[in-house]
Structure 1
Amino acid sequence: MTEAPLTADQTAPGDATATAVANLAEPAAILAHARREVLEGGRGLDEAGVLAVLQLPDESLTELLALAHEVRMRWCGPEVEVEGIISLKTGGCPEDCHFCSQSGKFDSPVRSAWLDVPSLVDAARQTAATGATEFCIVAAVRGPDERLMSQVREGVAAIQAAVEINVACSLGMLTQAQVDELAAMGVHRYNHNLETARSHFTKVVTTHSWEERWETCEMVRAAGMELCCGAILGVGESLEQRAELAAQLARLEPDEVPLNFLNPRPGTPFGDYPPVQPRDALRAIAAFRLALPRTILRYSGGREITLGDLEVQGMLGGINAVIVGNYLTTLGRPAEADLKMLADLSMPIKSFQSTL
């Protein structure tokens, strides 16, 4: 079991110590500190160190990305984990996550729909054919009811009988009984993102709390499932809050951290927000790698519009996992394009056997 969540005053943005370190240290000193702590010592940067990295000037970006890549290679190795995701239940969600077009509270074009079990199995087969080792079943819900748990139960069993791939789930907030059942049915990994820093959470979601998300994450880890817990950047947070989130994720110790970048969706409260600037996105990738040296750091939603042709730089700046194909309500790059990128970079795809 991890420690209790940090209190609000411990993680508030604009912390005086963090700001002082970031403002006073020279770029060379910041990078040298990160090299000693993370590359050589294997210790993730603390909140102040992450903030200093996020505030580095553009002139230091190439050196920063190279350091983050060295950290990834030393503490994670060269392999890249490939995953596909599928939406079992789309739209009509009762929550009000302001970035999400699946919320039933917003006037977005996404409409409620359910996928049947044969379609789940077919999608898992297609995902495995790309070389992926993970297939994640996602549902747009606050948490699963009995109908959803029944369909997940049937779907997981059918996929396990037909396809050689790890099955993951993302079904919202869970009860202890649901956590135990998912673990018993062989779900390999559970995704439940913190989304944003605790101090910023109420500006992004009002229908549930950051603490409720943290509680589900702790139950998942205690039950023996791998925990996937990540972030969405570009939802109005400050650099201080990005550093806060990285520190909170490090405290939680997830097996995987998916990094999403806001892809503004029509009809949502954040529909007019600008995408994260490419250089800021690359700095964030490197900073999260330096905060989480041993964690799977996955390219996720929004990378296509945020980074464009700079995606390769992210792969060479700390990323060691990708979601291939489409996302839940938005288009991703074709799986073939990502696989070609990995081949061109001579990055081996993690095998299914090595995940067992």
Structure 2
Amino acid sequence: MADILEVARQQVLEEGTGLDRDQLIQVLQLQDDDVPALLELAHAVRMKWCGPDVEVEGIVSLKTGGCPEDCHFCSQSGLFDSPVRSVWLDIPELVQAAKETAATGASEFCIVAAVRGPNERLMTQVREGIDAINEAVDINIALSLGMLTQEQVDQFAEWGVHRYNHNLEAAKSYFPQVVTTHSYEERWETCQMVREAGMELCCGGLVGMGETLEQRAELAAELASLDPHEVPLNFLNPRPGTPFGDQEVMSSADALRAIGAFRLAMPRTILRYAGGRELTLGDLGTREGLLGGINAVIVGNYLTTLGRNADEDIALLAELEMPIKELSKTL
């Protein structure tokens, strides 16, 4: 077994202190033969510091496509020749989606919009959506609406938003190769405001976008320093018409190494399977990740790509004897 795993067993599993960037690079450089031991250790860390519960979430897009930003991985950008075009979801459809999400056993429902940040129209629609969902179903509400002002952060906190998602997307050193229309610092500032307002912060990123292993470790370390409540881990699903559309899909072994590394960087954080896992890992890899540090799942479809059938994920959790976290109503 590689020396770094012995170090991690003492530092992370026994003491609860995450690995730093240089240590994470060693984890990401582990040989394929060491991956099962890495996942076994990551699972033990998750069980000790997070417990056995798995959090299930559904997401729905309030506004899909037509985004003014140029995130190179995203087919929702209005700047690329992508098949996704701007669509708005009406409130009854939003409520129905929330009901369907709750019916899967999910405790969280996330409303997403492809925007730089919310304008007055979107803020109004979100407020109406939150009120309608709260009347119809008992589920925590999360939002992902881009970069925020302090006033908007304060409004969301006042409206009882449980969690706000705003991903760093990539390590600071690689960010200019991923996005040019806004800065890493702008994203970081929104994340800090959300935390200071008392909402839970959901902040993750994508791997497999052409970054080096060192930059992958850098992203995990930066997320750890931000200390979000939840980290959604996405794997690049190259979308036609985007600048990253011709990238190769990362290997399953690299994806599993990333899962293990992110868990060892953040032993107490909810680490959520997000976009691209179906393509990168498949059914077997999805199972391995759930036994390798993952303790949350987005069920159903994503924003512009298809996910695994929600029933399949729920059945897999039952087979692995992983209890779904019961709703703790905080709205």
Scaled to the shorter chain, the TM-score interval is: over 0.9
Gaps of 5+ in 2: none
1:226 is the counterpart of 2:200: yes
Where 1:217 maps in the other structure, the secondary structure is helix
Aligned to 1:344: 319
Q: Which runs of 4+ in 1 moved over 2 A?
A: 353-356
Counterpart AA for 2:307: G
* Separation in 2, partners of 1:276, 1:308: 12
* Separation in 2, partners of 1:74, 1:234: 29
* Separation in 1, partners of 2:329, 2:288: 26
Where 1:98 maps in the other structure, the secondary structure is coil
Aligned to 1:20: none
1:308 is the counterpart of 2:279: no
Aligned partners of 2:53 and 2:324 also within 8 Å: yes
1:237 is the counterpart of 2:211: yes
Counterpart AA for 2:157: A
Q: Deviations over 1:265-313 (max 9, x none)?
A: 0000000101110000000000000000000000000000000131100
Counterpart AA for 1:66: E
Counterpart AA for 1:163: V
Aligned to 1:284: 258
Aligned to 1:320: 295
Where 1:259 maps in the other structure, the secondary structure is strand
Give the CA deviation at 1:161.
Answer: 1.3
Aligned to 2:95: 121
Give the CA deviation at 1:355.
Answer: 6.9
Give the CA deviation at 1:353.
Answer: 2.9
Aligned to 2:84: 110
Gaps of 5+ in 1: 1-26
* Separation in 2, partners of 1:160, 1:216: 25
Give the CA deviation at 1:354.
Answer: 7.6
Give the CA deviation at 1:236.
Answer: 1.1
Where 2:174 maps in the other structure, the secondary structure is helix
Aligned to 2:163: 189
Structure 2 length-normalised TM: 0.99
The residue correspondences of 1:1-356 to structure 2 (distance < 5 A) are 27-309=1-283, 310-353=285-328
Counterpart AA for 2:140: N
Aligned to 1:9: none
Alpha carbons of structure 1 residues 281 and 102: separation in structure 2 relative to 1, 3 Å: same
Counterpart AA for 1:234: G
Aligned to 1:8: none
Tell me the C-alpha RMSD between the 2 structures.
0.9
Q: Deviations over 1:156-204 (max 9, x none)?
A: 1111111100000000000000000001001000000000000000000
Aligned partners of 2:140 and 2:329 also within 8 Å: no
Structure 1 length-normalised TM: 0.92
Give the CA deviation at 1:28.
Answer: 2.8
Counterpart AA for 1:132: A
Where 1:35 maps in the other structure, the secondary structure is helix
Q: What is the percent sequence identity of the aligned residues?
A: 72
* Separation in 1, partners of 2:299, 2:88: 22
